[in-house]
Amino acid sequence: MNIQKVMEELGYKRKEAQLYLAALLFGEAKVSDLAAKLKIPRTSAIMLAEKLHKDGLLNYYVKHFHKYWVAENPDKLLLKLKKDESTLQSIIPELKAMQPRTIGDKPSMKMFVGANEIKQILEDIILTKSHLRGIVAWNDLIKLFGHGYVNDWLSTQSKHFLKFRLLTPFSEATKELKEHDAKESRDTRFLSKHTSALNTATFMYGNKVAIISLNEKLPTGFVLEDPDVQNTMTIFFEELWSSRE
């Protein structure tokens, strides 16, 4: 796993992440050492170090009139993340209260283009906290998002005790997936051989139906929130499910 990239995803700029990692490797270093390591001006290194010091990731001591920077324990990253999460949780009720009220459960539809945007759909499935059904071209899902992301998503789904009933074309990969059903809160059944050309993923969860085109050139997803449509798609799913026993 790329440590720098993870730090950037936590909100740190590229040079901030690089300077923290450099300080961690040095153990202790003058700002001139950090600047040389990153190949940046000394003044820029000072600004980065002060920012990380404010965040609690760097500390310093003075010796012979020189300031030596020391990276704090990496556990501080986790503590900061938990603190940020706690702060956000405290305002979630107010944020939800600001949302416009829907009239008569008016149906809504959202569109997502590109793999990064479509990940929001998979994240929404977890956040909805509802058991899910899926008709998925599993091999194409892996190609689009990669084994690492999909495995992390499955792990999160299982940890949240969300049961996942999956219909997918048979392959060596899905055969192996099925072998782990019992410990991953999943029940997998295989579609007929005529579905090998399937190149989409359809999920039913809560009052929503998500349909995702897994075309690698331009993947696109739609989420329709409508209990009637969700109910109809669920009926179709159950008919297919019962035929694959």
Condensed to tens digits (0 to 9), the pLDDT of residues 197-220 reads: 789 999 999 999 999 999 888 899
**233 or 85, which is more confident?**
233
Mean pLDDT of 40-50: 91
Span 3-75 CATH architecture: Orthogonal Bundle (1.10)
Fold of 108-243: Endonuclease; Chain A (3.30.870)
Q: Give the C-alpha distances (Å, rounded to integers) separating 129 from 162, 190, 206, 220.
A: 7, 25, 8, 23
Instruction: Reply yes or no on whether the pLDDT at 225 is more than 70.
Output: yes
pLDDT at 13: 84
Q: Under a CB-based contact definition with an 8 Å cutoff, are residues 56 and 72 in contact?
A: yes
**86 or 136, which is more confident?**
136
Q: Locate CATH 3.30.870.10 in the chain.
A: 108-243
Q: Considering only CA atoms, which of 107, 130, 114, 131 is closest in space to residue 221?
A: 114
pLDDT at 103: 47
Binned at pLDDT 50, 70 and 90, residue 55 comes out as confident
pLDDT at 60: 87
Q: Under a CB-based contact definition with an 8 Å cutoff, are residues 18 and 28 in contact?
A: no
Q: Considering only CA atoms, which of 243, 237, 208, 232 is closest in space to residue 222?
A: 208
The residues with which 166 forms a beta bridge, in sequence order, are 134, 188
pTM of the model: 0.60
Single-letter amino acid, residue 196: S
For residues 35 and 37, give the distance between their C-alpha atoms in angstroms, rounded to a whole number.
Answer: 5
Instruction: Reply yes or no on whether the pLDDT at 165 is more than 90.
Output: yes
Instruction: Reply yes or no on whether the pLDDT at 92 is more than 90.
Output: no
The phi-psi region of residue 103 (left if phi > 0; otherwise alpha if psi is between -120 and 50; otherwise beta) is beta
Single-letter amino acid, residue 110: K
Query: How does DSSP classify residue 185?
Result: T
For residues 123 and 139, give the distance between their C-alpha atoms in angstroms, rounded to a whole number.
Answer: 20
Residue 107, helix vs strand vs coil: coil
Percentages helix, strand, coil for the chain (3-state, rounded to 5) are 55, 20, 25
Q: Under a CB-based contact definition with an 8 Å cutoff, are residues 126 and 205 in contact?
A: no
Instruction: Reply yes or no on whether the pLDDT at 34 is more than 60.
Output: yes
The residues with which 189 forms a beta bridge, in sequence order, are 167
pLDDT at 217: 87
Q: Locate CATH 1.10.10.10 in the chain.
A: 3-75
Mean pLDDT for the chain? 86
pLDDT at 108: 84
